Amino acid sequence: MRRNDIYAALTRADVRGTYHWIIYVVINDEEGYKIHATTHGGTTPWTYECTTWNGPRSRLSVTFTLIGHMDDDFGIEMFELYVKDIPMNIIPPDQQPREPNFTCRVWFKEAIRQLDASGMFVKCTDVDALERELWNRAIGFEYQLHNPLPVLLSTEQAVAWS
């Protein structure tokens, strides 16, 4: 992992085969920024959070998939300008046919759309295809026996803007 690389991180949730969806921006080998929608385990309403986290060492981590890169001249504050104000508890119109409830995954997909629209961080023309790939890979790796987790991956569905 390189400084300012952007990953889609999926971590185990309460039910096997379901995941918490996180955007992870690398600070260094030891930690990065965990950017996500959270209820803090159901104790609060949905809120946006950006906090430091040692994701690859977390026992809950399943996959980290490289999806973009932030220019080395930018700080996390620049990145946050594009995602911190995504409304909570509101399902975007393009997701309403498939999503009955607001979840961290709904927020994640809208964040990817916003980052793509910025033309700077993540280039992803098909967020639904990215979602399917991330979920399929996570479930596949989680159910493999003797597979050390988390797994670091790449995808053709999302890349850094060049």
Dump pLDDT digits (tens) for 34-70.
999 999 887 889 999 999 999 999 989 999 999 999 9
pLDDT confidence bin for 147, thresholds 50/70/90 = low
Q: What's the CA gap between 126 and 122, in Å, rounded?
A: 12
pLDDT beyond 90 at 142: no
Q: Where are the domains of the chain?
A: 5-154
CB-based burial label for 113 (10 Å; 0-12, 13-18, 19+):
middle
Alpha helix segments (H runs only) across the chain:
76-80, 104-118, 127-143
Contacts of 71 (CB under 8 A, 6+ apart): 4, 120
- Cα–Cα dist 118/112, whole Å: 10
27-36, 50-59, 68-77, 146-155: the lowest-pLDDT one: 146-155
Q: Nearest-CA neighbor of 70 among 21, 2, 153?
A: 2
pLDDT of residue 123: 96
Residues 51, 86: Cα–Cα separation, whole Å? 17
Mean pLDDT of the chain: 91
CB 36 within 8 A of CB 10: no
| Mean pLDDT score, 70-93 | 94
Q: Is the pLDDT confidence value at 21 over 70?
A: yes
- Report d(CA 156, CA 147) in Å as an integer: 23
pTM score over 0.85:
yes
How far lies 116's CA from each of 16, 55, 84, 140, 161, in Å?
30, 23, 15, 27, 9
Beta strands in the chain (DSSP E): 5-12, 19-26, 32-38, 47-53, 61-69, 151-154
Residue 118 pLDDT > 70: yes
Residues 114, 116: Cα–Cα separation, whole Å: 5
- Reported as a pLDDT band with limits 50, 70 and 90, residue 33 is very high
